[in-house]
Amino acid sequence: MRMKKNKLVFSIDQIGIVVKDIHKAINFYSSNFGIGPFHEYETFVPDLIVRGQVSPSKTKFAFAQVGKIQLELIQNIEGDNIYSEFLKNKGEGLHHRAMCVDDVEKEVAKWEKNGVSVLQKGRASGVNWAYMDTESIGGVIIEIIPKRH
């Protein structure tokens, strides 16, 4: 959340979709919409923080550009996190939209100062991120990620 004269200003830099089978989803988006190439990776975050508690987690991700917006597919492999919760409670679908910022910690502090708490945060491969608890406010979770340089 960037403040500008007491108004929230944001961008949509990424759309995140939780899926049961990442390869099936990649095939769907590639064959039906021509999206790709997808870049896949798997990560284990031993110190993932979910609602203030440590919850080790292994997740598969696949990324592709769709114009100026990055499409992120997410498949939870193991651990309790907001992806596994989403899949259990809602099934596959749109999970979050992300905004890229210069400093994730500073941005998170602004959100928290305005009464929005962190749902999940972590760090992998030198990159940190945070999901803010905005679903009940705006209908979708907002992720704060660093700008890609």
Domains in the chain, ordered, with CATH? Answer: 2-146 (3.10.180.10)
Task: Encode pLDDT of 96-144 as tens digits.
Answer: 999 999 999 999 999 899 889 999 999 988 889 999 999 888 788 999 9
| Contact criterion met (CB below 8 Å) for 76 and 59 | yes
| Contact criterion met (CB below 8 Å) for 74 and 43 | no
Distances (CA, A) of 86 to 30, 51, 59, 62, 75: 24, 14, 14, 18, 11
Q: What is the pTM of this model?
A: 0.90
Cα R_g (the chain), whole angstroms? 15
Q: Which residue has the higher pLDDT, 137 or 91?
A: 91
Whole-angstrom Cα distance, residue 120 to residue 48? 7
Instruction: State mean pLDDT over 6-24.
Output: 83
Task: Give 17's strand partners.
Answer: 73, 94
Q: Which two tokens stand for residue 44?
A: 């284990």
| Contact criterion met (CB below 8 Å) for 73 and 17 | yes
Whole-angstrom Cα distance, residue 72 to residue 96? 10
